[in-house]
Amino acid sequence: MVQLEVNHEGDWKEVVRYDCAHGYAHRDSYNLAGKQIKEELYLSFEDALTIADDDIDDNWENYKYRFIEGGFP
């Protein structure tokens, strides 16, 4: 599992999470209200981990901004 969290008003909130918890690689995106979007990745677990690390490293600032503004990453 690879996850980006931000501290918003003293609470840590999930922004985006890549995992294989349901037997397949997927990405969960959250908004400030806690609503979640699940997206299947159709990748091997190994490829999904690589993409997750790269994506969060490269895009965390944009994800944080959109999350704080009330949208989805």
Q: How confident is the model at residue 3 (pLDDT cuts 50, 70, 90)?
A: very high
Tell me: the pLDDT tens digits for 7-19?
A: 999 999 999 999 9
Q: How confident is the model at residue 73 (pLDDT cuts 50, 70, 90)?
A: confident
Tell me how far apart the alpha carbons of residues 14 and 6 are, in angstroms, rounded to a whole number.
7
* Residue 19 contacts residue 28 (beta carbons within 8 Å): yes
> 3 — phi, psi (to 5°)?
-140, 140
